Amino acid sequence: MSGGGPPRKRNFKIEAFKNRVELDPKYAERTWKVLEHAIHEIYNHNASGLSFEELYRSAYNMVLHKYGEKLYDGLQSTMTWRLKEISKSIEAAQGGLFLEELNAKWMDHNKALQMIRDILMYMDRTYVPTSHRTPVHELGLNLWRDHIIRSPMIHSRLVNTLLDLIKGERMGEVINRGLMRSITKMLMDLGPAVYQDDFEKLFLDVSASFYSVESQEFIECCDCGNYLKKAERRLNEEMERVSHYLDAGSEAKITSVVEKEMIANHMHRLVHMENSGLVNMLVDDRYEDLGRMYSLFRRVPDGLSTIRDVMTSYLRETGKQLVMDPESLKDPVEFVQRLLNEKDKHDKIISVAFGNDKTFQNALNSSFEYFINLNNRSPEFISLYVDDKLRKGLKGATEEDVEVIMDKVMMLFRYLQEKDVFEKYYKQHLAKRLLSGKTVSDDAERSMIVKLKTECGYQFTSKLEGMFTDMKTSQDTMQDFYAKKSEELGDGPTLDVHILTTGSWPTQPSPPCNLPTEILTVCEKFRAYYLGTHNGRRLTWQTNMGTADIKATFGKGQKHELNVSTYQMCVLMLFNNADGLTYKDIERDTEIPASDLKRCLQSLACVKGKNVLRKEPMSKDISEDDTFYFNDKFTSKLVKVKIGTVVAQKESEPEKQETRQRVEEDRKPQIEAAIVRIMKSRRVLDHNSIVAEVTKQLQARFLPNPVVIKKRIESLIEREFLERDKVDRKLYRYLA
């Protein structure tokens, strides 16, 4: 671009650079000296004479002029030199001053590092990322770690000092927690790895051996409750220690060490400790100790299952003794009451001490289920307990109390495997209550039925409900009968008929006895009335279940009202026409079945205070040669005399057998129905699967016996509902 332009223009000549522009070669060295001096001054606490702006600009210039590497390396070596000096002074510190000195120097280093990083900020931003060097702050920490913490003279001394102090505190000494906190924080600041590798690991090892020794001492001299108290205190101490001067991440680790050494390693010994172990705690209701055991054991693997196993076996053992104890079998009400008490006791333990833990509740339930079903009279007894409560036990109790008792009974009911047996008994007992008018509260009865219904479904209670309906319709029918036929009846005895639907009631067919003519006429009128209003029905008299109130006048003219059974009434009525009758006469005239007649005569003649008949010869038992006379001399303080039939409240052995047999009989169609249901949907199934399915379907009501199921299958094959597979004999086929 030279010369030759139009003359008006000025000409410039631009020359190429002759020399490369070079910085003063000593510039970098000089600048670094300034910065190095500043770094020393900062470490010497002498920064007040330094100008930040100037230093910042110097560092900037060095980086700008490509002396970044020199700057960085210089920083590294200067800082290393300073830290070596510092490590000497820390090493020189004596005894207790060691930690103080370390902490003080750490504070100094931090502050200096901050200021150095301020000066070198530009380098940190530009040179460091492009050349992949460590940023200044991190570099300072790494150098501190390598030259101070991990220097051979300091490292072990530091760790031992820390561990000694912690040990001292465990033994009850007071230590400077603030200083401890600063030191552990320093280790954390240097990186979690430093804290973990250089301190925490050793801390955990030392703690483990400490607690291993201590727990051994404790367990030799303490009972279980006290040991647990001590363990709990140690655990809390360690957690407190972490919160005061260790990193929060250590909490889980140190607690797991304590848990392992103090609890897991001694778990079985603690639970089975003599005179103070788990079983004793359960027996004595020591809620506080149990709660502590639960909260400590839940921290260790298998802890709770250990408690649970011991509790379960204890429950099964005591429960088994309870239900097998011949003493307790004497009184069914007491028997059930004891079961309920046992349940209440352990429910309370679980809710107070075991935090309502579901697994414990399940263990309790399974234990009860186990031992209640050991005694096959349990269903009967539970029904009897309800019977007792509903007959008399509820007088004065509020509705809520009744509900509570019923709910508890239902809980026991749930454990029963043979629910159908319970149903049988309940039906019998309910029938007796209803017919004898002994039931105290209709509401309570109905609420019990509702509970059974929710538990077992409609089918289970439909017959029980039918009984209630019968009672109601009977009442209505009787009112109607008397309203329409009162003139016709005139002055005859009052009749109260309960019309029982066949099938709903536990009736046994019994041959009707000969009723006295007065009664018979009324009965016939009722029959005519009833069949007249209801077409196509049949009435059968269940004379074995009725009662009667009769008026009797005795020798000295005193009158009594006698409350007797229908049979007894029939017998007594005979004495209106005769003073003495032989057994044979009575049997012939009344046609009462022999066993019933004997019982009935026994209660009329042999019970003291109620002997309206006299028997010859005098003896306790009725024989066929006895003669009976009207007892003129009968006296009683009461106007109304209730003459009960001699019946055991509990079933006698043959009766029990009979009930049992009836239950078995009732099960047959149910099992068959279940088999047919299953086969209808599956078409082909092997024997074992059928047994499993049937058991599953029926277990809400009872536990079917596999042998019985097999018999039912055979019967179904006979009746051509099923057939065996021709190839595989184990398979059954459904025949539509």
CB of 31 vs other proteins, minimal distance in Å: 14
CB of 242 vs other proteins, minimal distance in Å: 31
d(CA 443, CA 462): 17
CB of 47 vs other proteins, minimal distance in Å: 7
Closest CA to 194 of 254, 138, 242: 138
d(CA 393, CA 408): 15
3-state secondary structure of 203: helix
Q: Which helix (H) or strand (E) holds 435?
A: helix 419-436
Closest CB to other proteins among residues 122, 567:
122
Closest CB to other proteins among residues 121, 440:
121
CB of 108 vs other proteins, minimal distance in Å: 12
3-state secondary structure of 17: coil
Closest CB to other proteins among residues 41, 666:
41
d(CA 657, CA 357): 42
Token pair for 202: 């050793």
CB of 146 vs other proteins, minimal distance in Å: 25
On the 0-12 / 13-18 / 19+ scale of CB atoms within 10 A, 316 is middle
Contacts with other proteins by CB under 8 A lie at: 47-50, 52-53, 56-57, 60, 111, 114-115, 118, 121-122, 125-126, 129-130, 132
Residue type, 204: L
Closest CB to other proteins among residues 24, 53:
53
CA–CA–CA angle 589, 591, 595 (5° rounding): 125
Closest CA to 260 of 209, 295, 310: 209
Helices 442-456 and 458-489, axial angle in degrees (round to 10): 150
Closest CB to other proteins among residues 48, 577:
48
Closest CB to other proteins among residues 119, 412:
119
For residues 564 and 550, the answer to whether their CB atoms sit within 8 Å is: yes
Closest CB to other proteins among residues 30, 696:
30
Instruction: Report CA-CA distances (Å) from 520 to 514, 530, 577, 583, 672.
Output: 8, 15, 17, 23, 44
CB atoms within 10 A of CB 628: 24
CB of 50 vs other proteins, minimal distance in Å: 8
Helices 25-43 and 52-64, axial angle in degrees (round to 10): 140
Residue carrying the six token digits 């032989």: 582
For residues 239 and 255, the answer to whether their CB atoms sit within 8 Å is: yes
Q: Which residues contact 642 (CB under 8 A, 6 or more apart)?
A: 563
CB of 120 vs other proteins, minimal distance in Å: 11
Closest CB to other proteins among residues 47, 93:
47
Closest CB to other proteins among residues 126, 365:
126
CB of 336 vs other proteins, minimal distance in Å: 57
Closest CB to other proteins among residues 34, 410:
34
CB of 127 vs other proteins, minimal distance in Å: 11
CB of 121 vs other proteins, minimal distance in Å: 6
d(CA 144, CA 151): 10
Closest CB to other proteins among residues 107, 531:
107
Where helices occur in 95-151 by DSSP H, the ranges are 97-119, 121-131, 136-144
d(CA 140, CA 137): 5
CB of 147 vs other proteins, minimal distance in Å: 23
Residue 616: what are its φ and ψ, rounded to 5°? -130, 135
Bridge-based pairing of strands 722-724 and 731-734 is: antiparallel
Q: Which residues contact 220 (CB under 8 A, 6 or more apart)?
A: none
CB of 409 vs other proteins, minimal distance in Å: 53
Closest CB to other proteins among residues 48, 502:
48
Instruction: Give long-range contacts, CB 8 A cutoff, 24+ apart: 20-24.
Output: 23/65
Closest CB to other proteins among residues 123, 612:
123
Question: What are the DSSP calls for 620-663, one per residue?
Answer: SS--TT-EEEE-TT---S-SEEE------SSPPHHHHHHHHHHH
CB of 131 vs other proteins, minimal distance in Å: 8
3-state secondary structure of 632: coil
